[in-house]
Every structure is written in structure tokens, then in C-alpha cells.
Amino acid sequence: MLLFSPITPFEFNNQVFYVKRDDLLDKNFNGNKARKFYYFLKRDFPNIKKVISFGSNQSNAMYSLSVLAKIKGWEFIYYTNHISSYLKNNPQGNYLYALKNGMKIIECGLSNEEMRNFVLNLRDKNTLIIEEGGRVKESEEGIKNLADEIKEFAKKHNLKIFLPSGTGATAFFLAKNLDIEVITTPCVGDKEYLLKQLFLLGEIPYNLTVLSPRKKFIFGKLYKELYLLWKELKLSGIEFDLLYDPIGWDTIKHYNLKNILYIHQGGLNGNESLIKRYKYKFNF
Ligand SMILES: *Cc1c(COP(=O)(O)O)cnc(C)c1O
């Protein structure tokens, strides 16, 4: 697990891009969540018996934590606001796979700061608390490894780095550990919101550029144009995630960005249920 992932050329939209294939790191533990949780994977925590986190009931971080907890022999408790009766009756995607790994999921009706404060207060000496989306300072170690793996290649080919952001932690720590330009775009909220999230991690690195998406996309909402773009990418040879990556590639097209090394951040487990929803909604 976690050997060097390959960088492959990717012809799309009549241009050559390069893609860092972190989706290929491992079958179960891959993408930027594997990088974020690398710190925990590689150390021993003799006192820790369980890990607690919170957030959306389809999140990639939730699934990756279920894998980590299984490897470590920890109990995994995950708090979420609400689980629809549809999902309860038709478990799928990250929710299903995390349950299979032994996740205990609890609906608590809380969100945002209330949820965060509630979970942070559950801390004790046997419990590891992981913030939503894996935004913890420990995530820098694995992301620095990613930076080290791309540094030379990017310089040699004169490439800029591009990746779409949620919390922005991956983009932040990548830029912090590189001296080449890292470009990102917010997928959750707008540019202002992402900048606020980035400030939580410290001073924003000088080489990190945040571009606004072409238009406002509501995170998790289905957009026909994003599905068609995802399909086009897939036909060009690489399957990307359906939540973040179509917004990323739409941004690359919109700004006509060239000489890009794109970071594939995994997340393919979530695609199955999203594809179903897309097919149902748009009759594909
Ligand atoms: C979690 C995730 C992101 C967002 O990562 P941040 O570090 O929160 O910005 C992007 N793409 C995929 C596939 C993810 O799973």
C-alpha cells in the first residue's frame, strides 16, 4: 500500500495534460484521503481504541477512515446529521462500503459548528477525533510525500499543478511543500468561502492560486453538463470522481489552462451511486 503512484499523459480537448494517478495507490485506500491519513496509518497508537469523525453520509473521507480503522483494529464511529430512508433501505456507495468495514453511523441532527463542537467534546485518551473531510494538521505529512513525488517531473516538463478543492487542505499543503504554482477551484461554496477555509490552516502559500469556477455549482447537485464532461473524460481514458473533478476540468477548460499536472484525488467509490442518480434524473 502507498507506493509511488504513476504520472500518465492524458490527451483531452486536443491538448496533452499529465495526471498524477493517486486513484491507483491502492484498491481500498487511495486518493487524497489516503495521503491525509498516511500519518495515522504508519504510526502506532497504543492507547487509541476508536476513531470518531463526522460529516456527510456519502463522504470519501468517511469511507477511507473505515478502511483505516479496519486496518488498525479501531472502532469507527461516525456522526452525520441525517440519513434518508431511501439510503437506509438501499445502502450504496461510500455509505455501504463503510458499513461493510464496520462503521457505526449515528444520526444526531446537528450541523456545522454545533456538530463540530459536539464531536470535539467526545475526545478522551482512547479516542482519536478526525475533523470533517480529514482536515487535520497531521495530513501534511502524506501530502508532502505527494509533493515530493511530483516535484521533479513538474519542473522538468514546466508544469503547473491543478486540483479541485473541498476543504482546500490538499491544495494548501501541496503548495506549502512545492515551489511551483498550484491552482485550485472551490467545489464546496465560493472562492471567498474557500479562502476562509484556507486561512484556518495558516498563512496561504504565495504559490497557491484560487480560481472561481465558471459558474456557481451547488455541491452534490446534479448538473447534466458536468455528467457529460465526466463522460467525455472517461472516453478519453481516465475515470475521475463525479463530485469534484468535473468542476475541476470545467475550470481548466474555462480558463484555457495549459501545461497542467492534474492531481487525481480518487473518490471513485462514490461514483456508482451518483451515476445511478444521474441516469434516473436525466434518463441517460
Ligand atoms: C476529499 C476530496 C477532495 C477535496 O479535498 P480537500 O483536501 O478537502 O480539498 C477532492 N477530490 C476528491 C476525489 C476527494 O475525495
Q: Is domain 7-27+138-282 classified as CATH 3.40.50.720?
A: no
For a mutational test of ligand 1's pocket, the pick from 204, 265, 271, i.e. the residue with the most ligand atoms closer than 8 A to its C-beta, is 265
Contact 139, 169 (CB under 8 A): yes
Positions of CATH 3.40.50.1100 in the chain:
7-27+138-282, 34-137
Query: Which of these, 248, 247, 239, lies nearest to 266 by C-alpha position?
Result: 239
Confidence (pLDDT) at 2: 58
Q: Is the CB of 266 under 6 A from ligand 1?
A: yes
Q: What is the pLDDT of residues 108-162, one digit of tens each?
A: 999 999 999 999 999 999 999 999 988 889 999 999 999 999 999 999 999 999 9
Cell of 92: 450504496
Q: Is the CB of 241 under 6 A from ligand 1?
A: yes
d(CA 230, CA 224): 10
Q: Tell which CATH classification among 3.50.50.60, 3.40.50.1100, 3.90.1150.10, 3.40.50.2300 matches the domain 34-137.
A: 3.40.50.1100
Query: Which phi and psi (to 5°) does residue 127 adopt?
Result: -125, 130
Q: Is the CB of 167 under 6 A from ligand 1?
A: yes
d(CA 223, CA 221): 7
**Element housing 162 (H / E):** strand 160-165
d(CA 194, CA 211): 10
Q: What is the pLDDT of residues 154-199, one digit of tens each?
A: 999 999 999 999 999 999 999 999 999 999 999 999 999 999 999 9
Confidence (pLDDT) at 146: 97
